[in-house]
Homo-oligomer: A and B are copies of this chain.
Amino acid sequence: MTTASHALTGVVPPLLTPLTAEGEIDLPSLERLVGRLLEGGVDGIFALGSSGEVAFWDDARREAVLEAVTGTVAGQVPVIAGVIDMQTDRVIQHVRAAERFDLAGYVATAPFYAVTGPEEIERHFRAVAAATERPLWAYDIPVCVHTKLSPAQLLRLGQDGVIAGVKDSSGDDVSFRRLAAANRAAGSPLALLTGHEVVVDGAYLAGADGSVPGLGNVDPAGYVRMHRAAQAEDWAQVRVEQDRLAQLFEIVFQPTDKVGPAAGVGAFKTALRELGVFSTNVMASPMTPIEGEAVDRIREILAAVGLLDGAGARA
């Protein structure tokens, strides 16, 4: 059996975690968000990813998120879950805690905090995969873990059935194309998803099987239309959709006093609040929400791409 049968492809947004003013999981907002994604036609949902603020949740909160997400999604599409932590045994601890939920697989990064080399990375993924029957995805995100997974290592892990696919957030498109070409030459043991919201079109040309766009929380239908156009090889339309989504992505550059997820995820949450999907744009501690003129500029961008009408109500 190859892992390819497990493969989840298409549009798989990394689900945001809406919070109440008190910082608790906001279930009504979560239900509206999931509804919006399903209505938009997404192929799956990635819970507890970086956009879901996974790094900020303690273990109890992580379980509460999985409980809420799997309960809300209720099997309508596959849900995969991030098991993000520093090193192997901690990742396996998260796998064990998640086994009781209805999940289609796990997503793990290379080890971080302690410096590790290729040997440790190889043993890490093999040990995590051995701890579960469910498919494992490799999450290549050097901006967070400060290690780049090599195409050769990823392909070997795929061929050995250790990982089912790769979520590429490396920003290294040369590496991604090399991986895509090598994967194709090897019979496509890996499903390849890109996490870069504004160059998904190029990733499709390179051979991506889908995308995991944080911005897909804000406009799932846009990413689904782009994916359908790519499958139909209607590249002119792919480009039109991508250009529009790139315009929308400018929301993350509006806060001038924030970096990292406080800016990016903060902008997504703010947009969803303005669109009436979220009740607040509250962020996990120690982050604070976007306020002031940046909110106005986010509204203008939402209006410019047709998500918000001129009067400010949801279009």
Contacts and interface: CB of A to CB of B under 8 A. Distances in A.
Contact of A259 (B116, B127, B143, B206): B116
Interface string A2-18: 00000000000000000
Interface string A179-204: 00100000000000000101101110
A228 interface: no
A40 interface: no
Interface stretch (A29-37, A72-80, A166-174, A305-313): A166-174
Interface of A: 50, 53, 55-61, 84-90, 92-93, 111-117, 119-124, 127, 143-146, 171-174, 177-178, 181, 196, 198-199, 201-203, 205-206, 233, 235-236, 238-239, 242-243, 246-247, 250, 257-262, 284-288
Copies of this polypeptide in the complex: 4
10 contacts: A55-B111, A55-B113, A113-B144, A113-B145, A114-B260, A115-B260, A119-B258, A123-B286, A174-B196, A233-B235
A236 B238 contact: no
Contacts of A178: 198, 246, 250
Given A113-B144, A174-B199, A206-B199, A87 B233 contact: no
A267 B67 CA distance: 44
Contacts of A146: 146
A120 B235 contact: no
Given A177-B199, A177-B246, 5 more contacts: A58-B89, A173-B202, A201-B205, A205-B238, A205-B239
Nearest to A94: B58
